[in-house]
Structure formats: structure tokens, C-alpha cells
Chains A and B, each alone.
Chain A
Amino acid sequence: MTPRTVEFDVRTPAVDSSGRLVQAPLGVARRASEHVAEDFGADHMLINIGPQHPATHGVLRLVVELEGETVRRVIPHIGYLHSGFEKLGEYRQYNQIIPLTDRTDYLAPMANNIALAMAVEALMGIEVTERCRLLRVIAMELSRIISHLVWAGTTGIDLGAFTPFLWMFQERERVYNLQEAWTGARLTTSVARVGGMMADIPEGWEAGLAEFLRTFPATLREVDAMFTRNAIWIGRTQGVGVISAEDAVNWSLSGPMLRASGVPYDVRKDRPYLGYDEFDFDVPVGEHGDIYDRYRVRLEEMSQSVRILEQALARLEPGPINVSDPRVILPPKSRAMSDMEAMIFHFKQVMEGIRPPAGEVYMGVENPKGELGYYMVSDGTAKPVRWRIRPPSFLNLSALPRLCEGALLSDVIAINASVDIVMGEIDR
């Protein structure tokens, strides 16, 4: 990422010590407002934000201790959406867990579905087909785009910009239409299966995606024009919620939160899966670790996703989407009805489910919000002993008290938005 070009040339009207109106750099105006807080002395005040509050992006409750307008302490309370997914997973067969993953990070359901299938495939040593692999890359990158669109739109609203929200949701709607055409569902896609996909893409889908890829960058440019050099946006985001690279690593942050602080770790590059190393794309890295850099990183990631999608689409060739492995994929109906062996496999799979060998695997993928990890422990039966979700936004949110120290109350909303949380995944 290029260094900031707008850091010092954006100014705002301010009043100097002798009462004259001057054009002050935005940074100075911020420092002055922090100064005011000290006038309020030692009076502490408690503010309760949420759990039912649109700016907490879900049922998150924050108890904020204020000194004047300066935040002294933030105590997040989570768990309002806890549904015990990990426990439920222990009572379900592997493919039956996939619908649960829709409901964790529901802003990027396809990425979760695929990560789960990949974890089980790693347990069983299954290699998916070329077409399946490319379709998975496409699904994952589309998920990244829609998740970042929601992030940018809602964060814009939190900071007072309403129009970009509408542009983002229009674009997201187009991806949702693609998701619906492919999977029959807009949100609860359940698109992956162990060893393949739930369905191949329908006819004309590729053209729809190509059309989206052709027109979507124009929206990105509009957002860029609206936000990147916008004085209000810069004033609210630059230097706010800063975390250093060292701290970001120590707090186990991941995804754009980690990269905005200048740590170039992206699972797609550093532990490639689904053949991401064959794609030509860049990983944007920030340097200041503030909200503004998180915005820049996410905006650039959307452009890079478009690049990956274009390459994947160009490589997509007809072929099977499911592996021909009778342990995980049902034999074709015609064979199951005419061939004894196929009939037995069909019966075993339906009655007993998929049975990976005893063992355990940690499968980490680069989800839009950070590194999603599925830690799957099998004892050789059809249901996992343990299905652990390593939720990226849970860990990113855990640093919120640290990010908000000394910020202003209004910044808490901005910082919380910049973390990009989704409570379904945090509470699980």
C-alpha cells in the first residue's frame, strides 16, 4: 500500500487559543477535543451500549466507563446469540454440520461451508476435482466481497455516511442473486459437501458472474472517491483505534485487522489451500494500524478478489464437481440400482454417514473477517468428537478494550465497527 498522501493536506476549521478562526490540520483538532475531557475531573460515568443497538452490529453489549468524554474502560459482554453450535456438531454427521456453519458468520456463509468440507477432506486425505476447486475459490472470493461490502456500508452509516451503504447493498444484492441461483438460498447456502459441492453452477451463471465482475469495480471506484479523501471520514478514522504490529500479533488478531497494522500474514499466501498459490493477487498491508488503514486494506482486498475471480472464471472448464470416492459421495442413482457394490456404498453412506479415520486436523482459511479455523477431532465414528470453531471476530473483538483505551465515546462506535464483527460467529 502506498503511504498516505492525504495525511497533512486535509484541514478543518478550528478556533485557536486567542479565539480566531483558523484552518487546522485534522489531527490537531482531535487532540484539542481530548484535552477538554480533563475538565470534568474525576467524575466517572458508566454508559451501557447495547445489546439492542444498531451500532453494535449485533447483540453485543458494551459497558463503557467514561471520564468526561474519554473512555477509561470498555467491558464487552457477549453470548446473547450463543446456540451451542460446537456441542450440536458433536451430535451430527459431518455433512449435517454444514448448515450450522451457515449460521456462524452469516455474512459469508459460502466460505464457512467450504472450510468445513475442507477440514473433513483433510482428515480423510481427499483431493477435490479441479472444477470443484475453482468453484470453491469463486465462492470464497464472492463471500469476501459481500462481507466487506456490508462492513464498508455499515461502518459508513455509523460514521454518518448513508449513501455508500445503498451502493454497497445494491452490489451485495447482485451477489446474493448469484448465490440464490446456485444454491437456492440467499443466506443459508450450505453450498459445500465433503468431497465436492452440493450442486454445479446453473447454466448462464458464469455470464452473470462475468457481468458482475465487469461492473463492480466502478462501484469500488465510487466508494474510493467518496471515502478515501473525505475530510470527515479521515477525521473520524485516521489515528483512531490504533494498534501496533507487535500488539496485533500478541492479541492474536487476524485478517484485515492484523494486516492493517503492518503484519503481512494472509493464509491464502502463507499456507495456501485450494491452489491459491497459482493465482496472481496481492495482499494489501497497512502501516498505521488505525481504522483508516483497515478501510484501505478491505477496499483493496475487494479489488484483489475481483482479480482472483476473473482468473478463476477464465480457468473454469467443464468436468465433474464431486470426487469419485464412494466413502463420501453417493454413487449415481442408476449405478446404485444396478450394481451391487454401488448399492452397498449407497446404503452405508446413508445409514452410517461419512466415517473419517481417527485423527485430528486444524484447517485454517482466510475468511473475510480473519482466519477461520476448524479444529476437527475424529475417533473413527460418523460424528466428530470435537468440532472447534476458531472464530476470527471473537479474537478481533477481544482486543476492543485495548483499542478503545483513551478514545472518545464516539470513537468506540467507529472502532467497534472497524473490527468487523459478526455476532453469530462470536457467540456460536
Chain B
Amino acid sequence: MSEAGTLAVLEAARASARAAIEAFGAEHLRHTESCGQVILHVAPPLAKQVLAWLQADPAHRFDYLTDVTAVEYRDPERPLEVVYQLRSLERRVDLRVKVPLDPEGTLQVETVTDLWAGAEWLEREVWDMFGVRFRGHGDLRRILMWQTYDEGHPLRKSFPLRGHRSRAEQTRQALAANPEAHYTLEEISIHEAYQELPPDMQERLRRRMEAGS
């Protein structure tokens, strides 16, 4: 991009960040930059409000959610951050919103699935990989790891690269596991059909649910 174009985009993102700080107060919001990209840090209680405002306000119109992810730093003093990459498709402006959470505390933020439908799987992935709970998400299941996976959340820094258990133990458990236990009946629910199933199939589904829960 031409230098003037890059500068104009950067200025527009700065203006949005400054407007958000003005609207919600400098004690909860902060604006930094890295590599020519604008980052808006928002305190967790305000996160949902600020995101909704950025999406709806006609002067900003961040209508496109590029990505939701999280970062945990190697420095244990630094907070774990939930990261939203926003974009205004009309104005061609990008803005990154970060919500810091205490890695030792309960990792919880409000869901944005009601603002952007695209957040549905992205938030599930952050839950799966980091253990951040999104309040109000209708279907917060693991997405990349399987349903019965119980070793924790792989992208946390406290999670060893090869997992908590030895390879031998992992293999033993994998072979002993009930492969049908990964999905619950609710997940693929047809409740009325359940009563009409033959007894042996009912029994199998019931056992599967017990094993899976």
C-alpha cells in the first residue's frame, strides 16, 4: 500500500481507539500500538459493551470479526489476553481489542456470538485450547480436542508439549476408551425418536451417555 494510504488507515484506527476511550473512560481502556497496528485494551467487565459499541456506532462500524483468540505469555506476571481482531469492511480499518484476564483466576468473558455469528466456533476453540469460558455462548463444547478429553487446555503455558501423561499411558487410555462416548445424546438429540428405538439400542445410547458424562 502507498505510504499515505497506510498512514490514513492507521490514523482511522487510532481515532476509533481514542473515541472508545473517550466514551468509556480512560480508567478502563488503554491504547497501544505494535508494528503499526492499533490495540485497544479493555477491562473485562466493559469488554462486551465496548465491542458492541464498536460494531454498532455509525462512525466506526467494525462489522467484521476477523478472529478471536487468546495469548498467554511466558512471563507469569502478565495477564492472559483474549484477543479480538475487528475490521470495518466499509472503511477498510482494522482494530485489535484485548481483554486481560488473570491466568490464576476464573477465565471468563461475555460471549460475542450475539453480535457476530462467526464467533461461535472461534470462542469454542479458545475455550478448548485455553479454558476461557464465554458466558452466554449457547454451545460451548470442545471443538478440536474430543469431548471426553480431560488433560486440560493444550495451549496454556502450564501444559507440557507432550501432554500431561506419558505416551504409553495415552495409548493405553485410547485403546481402553469407548469410541462411542465422544458424543452425548443431547448433542444429536431426537428425544421423541429415543422411545421408539429397539431396547438394545436404547441401552447402548444410555451407556454411551453415562460413559461420556
- Residues of A bordering B, CB below 8 Å: 42, 44, 46, 63, 65, 75, 77-79, 82, 84, 86-88, 91, 122-123, 125, 247, 249-253, 263, 265, 270-273, 277, 359-362, 364, 371, 373, 375, 377, 379, 381, 385-386, 388, 390, 394-395, 397-399, 402, 427-428
Contacts and interface: CB of A to CB of B under 8 A. Distances in A.
B69 A270 contact: no
A371 to B, nearest CB: 7
B110 interface: no
A394 B146 CA distance: 17
A270 B92 contact: yes
A371 B162 CA distance: 31
B37 A251 contact: no
Interface string B84-124: 01000100101010000000000000000000111111100
Contact of A272 (B1, B35, B117, B120): B1
A132 B35 CA distance: 22
Interface in B42-58: none
Given A373-B67, A385-B73, A78 B144 contact: yes
Most chain A beta carbons < 10 A, residue from B69, B122, B142: B69
Contacts of B175: none
A364 B35 contact: no
Contacts of B35: 122-123, 125, 359-361
Contact of B143 (A78, A91, A388, A399): A78
Given A84-B154, A250-B118, A395-B122, 7 more contacts: A86-B129, A122-B35, A252-B117, A359-B35, A360-B37, A361-B37, A395-B121
B121 A394 contact: yes
Contact of B161 (A79, A87, A273, A427): A87
Nearest to A84: B154
A91 B85 contact: no
Contacts of A399: 117-118
Interface size of B as a range? 35 or more
A252 B65 contact: yes
Interface of B: 1-2, 9, 34-35, 37, 39, 63-67, 69, 71-75, 83, 85, 89, 92, 94, 96, 116-122, 125, 129, 142-146, 154-155, 159, 161, 183, 187-188, 190, 192-193
Dominant SS among interface residues on chain B: loop
Nearest to B75: A379
A334 to B, nearest CB: 35
A124 to B, nearest CB: 9
A326 to B, nearest CB: 21
A86 B188 contact: no
Contacts of A394: 121, 125
A249 B71 CA distance: 25
16 contacts: A42-B192, A46-B190, A79-B145, A247-B117, A250-B116, A250-B118, A373-B66, A375-B67, A375-B69, A377-B71, A385-B74, A388-B71, A395-B118, A397-B121, A399-B117, A427-B144
Contact of A87 (B9, B89, B154): B154
Given A63-B188, A75-B187, A362-B94, A252 B66 contact: yes
A272 B6 CA distance: 10
Contacts of A364: 66
Contact of B188 (A42, A75, A252): A75
A394 B142 CA distance: 15
A44 B197 CA distance: 13
Nearest to A361: B35
B118 A252 contact: yes
B144 A82 contact: yes
Contact of B118 (A46, A122, A251, A272): A251
